[in-house]
C-alpha cells in the first residue's frame, strides 16, 4: 500500500514488482507522461491500465496510447451501480487512434450486466446524439442510500439509477459524457458544457491541464472562465488561448477569461476538485456548486 501517488514510486513499483494491472485517474496519467525520467524504467510488465473517475483529454490519451502501447481501458460507473457501467476496450482505443479519433472522447459501451439509457427531464428516452441524463439499471445496482429515503427516491426512479451525469449515445451505443448536471454553465440563458470547453483548451500544446467553470457575471449571470496549468517548458498567453478557442467554440461557449494556476486542487482520490475551485469564486453567493 502507498500513502499517495508519486510518479517515481509508481515506476519503481511497476518495474520491481512486475505489475501487470493498475487503475489510474487521468491526472495520474498526465503526471507519468510528463515525468522526465519515465523512460529510465522498465514498464514492459504492464498489460492493462484502467482509467476513469474523471474526463480525460483526448490529446493526452492519444499520447499515452502511442507512447505506452495499447494497454489502456476506460470505465465509467458509480458506486451506486457497483462500478460496472461502460467500458472502452484496449482494441477500441487503438482503432479510434487509427480510424476515428473522436471516439477517444467516449467512455465506451455498457457492460453485459448493465443497461443504460439517456433521458430528458420527463424520463423519456432520447435518441442518438441527444443530450440528457445518463441512467443505468441492472441486478448489481444499489437498493438505496442508507437511511436516506428522500434522496433514494430522487436517485432511483422506476428502477433506474439517475447518475447526475449528462451525456449522449451515438448510433452504435457508445456513451459520451458532456458534464455533471451541477457543472453546466448557464450564460445568457445558454447552457455551456464545461467538458467541451476543457477538451478544446487541452488540445493546445502549452496546456497540461484545464478546467472550465462558470463565475458570477452581472450581465450574463455566469461567465465562462478557463483555468489552465501550463505544460512544462511551454508558454502561452491569455490572449493566445482565447484566440485558439475562437474558431473551435461558439461565441457563447468561449471563455471570456483565462487564468493560470501553478496546480489545480485534487480530491483524496487524485481527481481534479472542480468544486473547490468554484467555491473560490462563489463564496457567499447563492449558487449550487
Residue 105 pLDDT level (bands cut at 50, 70, 90): very high
What lies within 8 Å, CB to CB, of 20 at 6+ separation is 45, 46, 47, 48
Q: What percent of the chain has pLDDT over 70?
A: 98
Q: Could you tell me the pTM of the whole model?
A: 0.82
Task: Kindly state the DSSP code that residue 158 receives in the 8-state scheme.
Answer: T
Q: Is the pLDDT reported for residue 158 higher than 50?
A: yes
Is 103 in the same domain as 134? no
Residue 192 neighbours by CB distance under 10 Å: 25
Q: What percent of the chain has pLDDT over 90?
A: 79
Quick one: cell of 95? Answer: 482503432
> Is 230 part of any domain?
yes
Helix (H) or strand (E) holding 166: strand 160-169
Q: Determine whether 124 is exposed, middle or buried from the number of CB atoms within 10 Å of its CB (0-12, 13-18, 19+).
A: exposed
How far is CA 117 from each of CA 126, 184, 192, 193, 216, rounded to the nearest angstrom? 8, 20, 22, 19, 33
Domain range holding 26? 7-108
How far is CA 141 from its chain centroid? 22
**Could you read off the pLDDT of 183-202 as tens digits, one per residue?**
899 998 899 999 999 999 99
Quick one: cell of 62? Answer: 492519444
Quick one: cell of 68? Answer: 505506452
Residue 284 pLDDT level (bands cut at 50, 70, 90): low
**Could you read off the pLDDT of 55-92 as tens digits, one per residue?**
888 999 999 999 999 999 999 999 999 888 999 999 99
> Is 85 part of any domain?
yes
> Is 278 part of any domain?
yes
Is 123 in the same domain as 100? no
70, 77 contact by CB (below 8 A): no
Is 13 in the same domain as 103? yes
Compute the average pLDDT of residues 156-172. Answer: 95
Task: Look at residue 160 and give its three-state secondary structure.
Answer: strand
Is 43 in the same domain as 63? yes
Is 45 in the same domain as 23? yes
1, 28 contact by CB (below 8 A): no
32, 59 contact by CB (below 8 A): no
Q: Determine whether 1 is exposed, middle or buried from the number of CB atoms within 10 Å of its CB (0-12, 13-18, 19+).
A: exposed
Q: Pick from 108, 123, 154: which residue ends a domain?
A: 108
> Is 70 part of any domain?
yes
Quick one: cell of 70? Answer: 495499447
Task: Look at residue 115 and give its three-state secondary structure.
Answer: strand
**Could you read off the pLDDT of 203-239 as tens digits, one per residue?**
999 999 999 999 998 888 899 999 999 998 999 999 9
C-alpha 125/C-alpha 169 separation (Å) is 11
Q: Is the pLDDT reported for residue 289 higher than 80?
A: no
Q: How many structural domains comprise the chain?
A: 3
Is 103 in the same domain as 150? no
Amino acid at each position: 500500500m502507498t500513502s499517495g501517488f508519486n510518479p517515481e514510486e509508481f515506476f519503481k513499483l511497476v518495474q520491481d514488482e512486475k505489475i501487470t494491472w493498475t487503475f489510474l485517474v487521468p491526472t495520474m496519467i498526465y503526471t507519468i507522461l510528463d515525468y522526465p525520467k519515465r523512460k529510465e524504467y522498465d514498464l514492459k510488465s504492464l498489460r492493462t491500465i484502467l482509467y476513469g473517475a474523471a474526463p480525460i483529454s483526448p490529446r493526452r490519451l492519444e499520447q499515452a496510447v502511442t507512447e505506452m502501447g495499447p494497454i489502456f481501458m476506460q470505465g465509467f460507473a458509480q458506486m451506486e451501480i457497483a462500478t460496472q457501467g461502460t467500458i472502452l476496450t484496449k482494441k477500441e482505443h487503438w482503432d479510434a487512434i487509427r480510424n476515428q479519433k473522436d471516439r477517444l472522447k467516449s467512455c465506451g459501451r455498457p457492460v453485459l450486466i448493465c443497461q443504460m439509457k439517456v433521458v430528458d427531464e420527463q424520463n423519456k428516452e432520447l435518441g442518438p446524439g441527444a443530450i440528457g441524463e445518463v441512467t443505468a439499471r441492472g441486478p448489481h445496482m444499489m437498493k438505496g442510500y442508507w437511511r436516506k429515503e428522500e434522496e433514494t427516491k430522487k436517485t432511483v426512479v422506476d428502477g433506474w439509477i439517475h447518475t447526475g451525469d449528462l451525456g449522449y449515445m451515438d448510433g452504435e451505443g457508445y456513451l459520451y459524457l458532456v458534464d455533471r448536471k451541477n457543472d453546466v454553465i448557464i450564460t445568457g440563458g445558454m447552457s455551456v458544457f464545461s467538458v467541451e470547453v476543457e477538451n478544446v483548451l487541452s488540445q493546445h500544446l502549452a496546456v497540461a491541464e484545464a478546467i472550465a467553470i462558470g463565475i458570477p457575471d452581472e450581465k450574463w449571470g455566469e461567465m465562462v472562465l478557463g483555468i489552465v496549468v501550463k505544460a512544462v517548458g511551454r508558454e502561452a498567453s491569455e490572449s493566445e488561448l482565447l484566440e485558439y478557442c475562437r474558431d473551435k467554440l461558439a461565441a457563447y461557449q468561449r471563455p471570456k477569461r483565462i487564468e493560470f494556476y501553478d496546480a489545480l486542487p485534487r480530491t483524496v482520490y487524485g481527481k481534479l476538485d472542480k468544486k473547490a475551485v468554484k467555491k473560490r469564486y462563489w463564496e457567499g453567493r447563492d449558487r449550487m456548486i
